[in-house]
Chains A and B, each alone.
Chain A
Amino acid sequence: MMIYVKLAWRNLLRNKRRSFIAGTAIGIGLAALICVDALLLGMERNMIDSATASFMGQGRIQRKGFQDTQQADLTINRLDQVVADLEQESILKHFTPRVLTFAMASSPSNLSSIELVGIDPASEKPVSEIDEVIIEGSYFSGENERDILIGDRLAEILKTSLGDRLVVTVSEAGTGDLSQDLFRVSGIFRFDISEMDRGMAFIRLVKAQEMLSIGRDVHEIALVFSDTESGSDATLPFWQKYSRFSNEAVGWPLIMPQLKTVFELSRFSTYIIGLILFGVVALGIINTLFMSLHERMFEFGVLRAVGTRPFSIVQLVTYEAGSLAVVSIVMGCILGFAVNYILAHTGIDYTGIEYSGVTFRKLLFPELRIRQFIEYPLWVFFFTILVGLYPACYAARMSPAAAMRRSL
């Protein structure tokens, strides 16, 4: 009934200061929810970017079983056909072949086990950020097939520096015979990911294939999609299509399941934060409505006396809660947007901080979604109505005579 909507709004505006304070409290709760969600999304994006863009890629194709065994002879089957097909994929932005093997790097001073990666410098460039994290030397600038890039931590372990020579030993495919070669440190990189900086080295693809005696074969093709979401879309037919010939195509969530778990944990913590915020907000709403009810008890008595049904009293108080929710939602959305707008321009500097094995390498920016301004406000609205039912039923159950006696 319109009269109750009118009454609800007028009652809300009756004590503007109290309504403003209550609305602000609920609004801050909503804004906090929006901000937490936006920051978590931003953090997810940042972590995915850090994890995928640095080296891994958003997906990869390998021979089945290679990931677990790292056997040098488990190369991608029908490589030429796979590459030809990939070149036709419109959803794919870039891809690059790689050779991966465990190796031993030794300098005159020390030795260390490493993961040796053979890369094609040209096609690797748009897929990973190796070229961007070189802190000394250069990224395969010449034609020297004995160039090797190592991490700064590995350089420390091996007590070696730019221009020094290293011997790398690998186990050949098939026979398992040891194969050694001499390399010159042409570049030192720093990903700020300790495992990579301490235990990875990059050489040219052709040289790696030669050392392993695998001909033109490769162990992995790293993928970058035009739409970054594709990497995590398990329903994409792409994965099926390239999981043939005993090969296996997977997106980053399967490559880094721990990252997905971290995100699930983050979402769960959002729910917990949401629950706590809503709990605090609920007490605020109940308190506000009860204060308002007690101040106006005689009015409820009068309304009941002149023939207003108890259900209509419930309606009236519920509309008041709803009106308060609307005001709060407007305030919360404006506040949430404003805070995120500022953070989206300034960013939050977590660079260098490692979380769940991933180091933040860029500023953290919150990610706003339309959903945050629909879903959370709806939660707040329905929650406020739900919480408002308690004082509403209390008011409806009061006997009219008792209600009027209380205030007179």
Chain B
Amino acid sequence: MSDHNDVISVKGITKVYSDNSVPVHALQGIDLTIRYGEFTAIVGPSGSGKTTFLNIISGLDSCSEGEVWLAGKLLSSMSGKELSDFRRDSIGFIFQAYNLIPVLTVEENVEYIMLLQGVPKVERRRRVSDILEMIDLAGYEKRLPPQLSGGQQQRVAVARAMVSKPAIVLADEPTANLDSVTSGALLDMMYELNRKTGMSFVFSTHDENVMGRAKRLITLKDGRIAGEKQTTVTS
């Protein structure tokens, strides 16, 4: 069981890929808890298991061994449909390559999850309008993602991740494709949202900028937690 203050609690998770019959240990016995409202960065070199860790704690992938509790729910006990619904309601995703749906407009991308949740149209439009205002993209509602810059697309991705008010936002290298100014602005925005809404953020990153803003830094190396520290953030 997880503590009710823990948004994430993982116990002894391992992940073994056996592509081409050669087992690769991506994660090896990780124990970790992340509390509600934390602004946490998972850092480490390429191949250290950051993306695998995020995929497993979000239920996008399953672990070979161990338990993952997210927002008080044991992920392994859920069916595919329950997992989909759980991700829809409890997790916001931000990906390195923005991963917006290119044929949907900014407005449609942001409101998509609310559509799945069955939020009424008026409420959807209000929340989309509010969040686009907040991320400084008001007036871009009808644009398609390819008509936006990388930074703007990532802001739309942040809006999509947050508009349904999930318990936690998981971001896989969100600033990797952005220049330093844009990534700084994006981090400021997420930091503010974390501060104002109390939403938990977990990042995987290489970016010193991100590391510098995280309240907690967890270092992964060869699929194991190699270190952890609390930081003082200066925004």
Residues 185-210 of B at the A interface (beta carbon under 8 Å): none
Question: Which B residues lie within 8 Å of A18 (CB)?
Answer: none
Q: Is the CB of B87 within 8 A of A306?
A: yes
**A26, B214: Cα distance in complex, Å:** 55
Interface status of B95 (Cβ within 8 A of chain A): yes
Interface status of A83 (Cβ within 8 A of chain B): no
- Listed residue (A298, A309, A311) with the most chain B CB atoms within 10 angstroms of its CB: A309
Question: Which A residues lie within 8 Å of B112 (CB)?
Answer: 3, 306
**A400, B61: Cα distance in complex, Å:** 7
Give 1 or 0 for each of A2-17: 1 = CB within 8 Å of chain B CB: 0100110011001000
Q: Is the CB of A298 within 8 A of B99?
A: yes
Interface status of A307 (Cβ within 8 A of chain B): yes
Q: Is the CB of A307 within 8 A of B115?
A: no
Q: Is the CB of B87 within 8 A of A307?
A: yes
Question: Which A residues lie within 8 Å of B115 (CB)?
Answer: 1, 3
Interface status of A304 (Cβ within 8 A of chain B): yes
Of the candidates B61, B81, B160, the one whose C-beta lies within 8 Å of that of A306 is B160
Question: Which A residues lie within 8 Å of B116 (CB)?
Answer: 306-308, 312
Question: Which B residues lie within 8 Å of A301 (CB)?
Answer: 99
**A400, B104: Cα distance in complex, Å:** 20
Question: Which A residues lie within 8 Å of B38 (CB)?
Answer: none
Interface status of A399 (Cβ within 8 A of chain B): yes
**A76, B150: Cα distance in complex, Å:** 94
B81 to chain A, nearest CB (A): 6
Question: Which A residues lie within 8 Å of B102 (CB)?
Answer: 14, 299
Residues 272-330 of A at the B interface (beta carbon under 8 Å): 298-299, 301-312
Given contacts A307-B84, A401-B55, contact A408 B113 (CB under 8 A): no
Given contacts A3-B115, A306-B112, contact A408 B97 (CB under 8 A): yes
**A307, B113: Cα distance in complex, Å:** 7
B53 to chain A, nearest CB (A): 11
A358 to chain B, nearest CB (A): 57
Of the candidates B58, B89, B101, the one whose C-beta lies within 8 Å of that of A302 is B101
Interface status of A404 (Cβ within 8 A of chain B): yes
Of the candidates B61, B97, B103, the one whose C-beta lies within 8 Å of that of A10 is B103
**A400, B56: Cα distance in complex, Å:** 11
**A408, B55: Cα distance in complex, Å:** 14
Q: Is the CB of A302 within 8 A of B99?
A: yes
**A303, B84: Cα distance in complex, Å:** 10
Interface status of B60 (Cβ within 8 A of chain A): yes
Interface status of B69 (Cβ within 8 A of chain A): no
Q: Is the CB of A310 within 8 A of B99?
A: no
Interfacial residues, chain A to chain B (CB-CB below 8 A): 1, 3, 6-7, 10-11, 14, 298-299, 301-312, 399-402, 404, 408
Q: Can you name 14 A-B residue pairings with CB atoms under 8 Å?
A: A6-B108, A7-B104, A10-B104, A11-B103, A298-B99, A302-B101, A306-B87, A306-B88, A306-B93, A307-B85, A307-B113, A308-B84, A399-B60, A404-B99
A-B contacts besides A298-B99, A299-B99, A308-B116, 19 pairs, CB < 8 Å? A3-B115, A6-B108, A7-B103, A11-B103, A301-B99, A302-B99, A302-B100, A305-B60, A305-B87, A306-B93, A307-B88, A307-B89, A308-B84, A308-B88, A309-B84, A401-B60, A402-B61, A408-B95, A408-B97
